[in-house]
Amino acid sequence: MDIVDYNQALPRLEGSFTKTAFFETIGSTNDVVAEWARQGVKGMCLAAAGEQTQGRGRAGRKWQSPAGSCLAFSLQLDSSPYIREESNVLGLAALSAGLAICEALESSYGLKPQIKWPNDILLNGKKVCGILPEISWIGDQLQSLIVGIGVNVTPNAIPPNEVLNFPATCIEEVLGEHVDQSKLFFSIVAQMIKRIVRGGLIEEAEKRLAYKDQPVDLIVDGSDQSVTVLGLAADGGLRTQLSGGEGRVFYMGEIQLRPPA
C-alpha cells in the first residue's frame, strides 16, 4: 500500500507553520487543529493523517478516509484575509482552498478541475475533493478558522454507491496512472500558502466555477429551488437568477447544489 509520506513533505513546509503533526490514524484532523486552537496555538498550523476514523464532511455527513487512498489534512489559517464587511468567512475560506487545489491540480498534473460551489472540487463532473471550513468564536472574536481537505487519490477512496450523494472519482482514475501522494500534498499546501497572499480570488475562482450559465437545483433548508448559476459575488456568495427572473445571492450554510435530475 502506498501511504503518503507526510514525514518527507512536512519538513519542507515547516517554515510556514507554527505547528505541524502527522498521525498514521486519527479521528479527524479538523478536531486535532481545533484542540490546538483551544490550547492557544496561534498562526498557521497543519495536521495530516494517513487514515481518519471519524472524518467529517459538511452537513453532518461522514467522510471516509481509508489508509493509503487519500489525502486528509487540516490547516488553521489566519482569518484576516477572509473577514470583510459581509463576513462570509467560511465561504471565502472554502473558495480560497478550492482555488488553490484547482491551481495545484492544473500546474502539477495538467488537469482541468472545477469548483462546485461552495466546497467541492470536480474532475470530469465527479467529486474528487471535499473541503470542510469551520470557525469557532469566543464572544464576537473569531478564535480559529480551520480548513479541512480530503482528496480522493486511489480508487479505494471512492465510497460505495449506497453512501454516495454525488458521483465521485479519484485522481488516479482520471490520470490513468499512479500518483505520488507526497508530491500532490506538497503541491496543494504550497498553493494554499501562495493563494492567501495572491489577489484575484473571486475572478480566478469564477473561471473554474462548475455549472456557470446552467440551471441547477439548490436545496436550501430542505426545500428545492431551481436557479441558473451566473457567477460569484465579490464576497464569495453564489450569484444566481431565480426562475422568476430576479437575481439572488446564496451563501454557504445548509445549502446543497445539484445539477437538475
Q: Applying CB under 6 A, which residues contact ligand BTN? A: 28-30, 52, 55-58, 61, 63, 65, 72-74, 119-120, 130-132, 148-150
Q: Is 249 exposed, middle or buried (0-12, 13-18, 19+ CB in 10 A)?
A: middle
Q: Give the nearest residue (CB) to ligand BTN.
A: 130
Q: How far is the CB of 253 from ligand BTN (least distance, A)?
A: 13
Least distance in angstroms from the C-beta of 147 to ligand BTN: 9
**Distance in angstroms (rounded) separating the CA atoms of residues 29 and 170:** 21
Nearer to ligand BTN, 70 or 209 (CB): 70
Candidates 170, 167, 148; CA nearest to 157 is 170
DSSP strands (E only) in 177-260: 215-220, 223-232, 238-242, 247-250, 255-258
User: How far is it, in rounded angstroms, from Cα 32 to Cα 73?
Assistant: 10
CB closer to ligand BTN out of 55 and 236: 55
Q: Which residues contact 153 (CB under 8 A, 6 or more apart)?
A: 4, 69, 70, 71, 170, 171, 172, 179, 181, 184
Q: Which three cell numbers stand for residue 132?
A: 470542510
Shortest distance, position 133 Cβ to ligand BTN, whole Å: 9
Q: Which is nearer to ligand BTN, 61 or 84 (CB)?
A: 61
Report the chain's terminal Cα–Cα distance, integer Å: 38
With cell 446564496, the residue in question is: 250
Q: CB-wise, 135 or 234, nearer to ligand BTN?
A: 135
What's the min distance (Å) between Cβ of 12 and ligand BTN?
20
Q: Determine contact, residues 93/101, Cβ cutoff 8 Å.
A: no
Nearer to ligand BTN by Cβ, of 157 and 205: the residue is 157
Shortest spacing between CB 118 and ligand BTN, in angstroms: 10
CB of 243 to ligand BTN, least distance (A): 27
Q: 74 or 144: whose CB is closer to ligand BTN?
A: 74
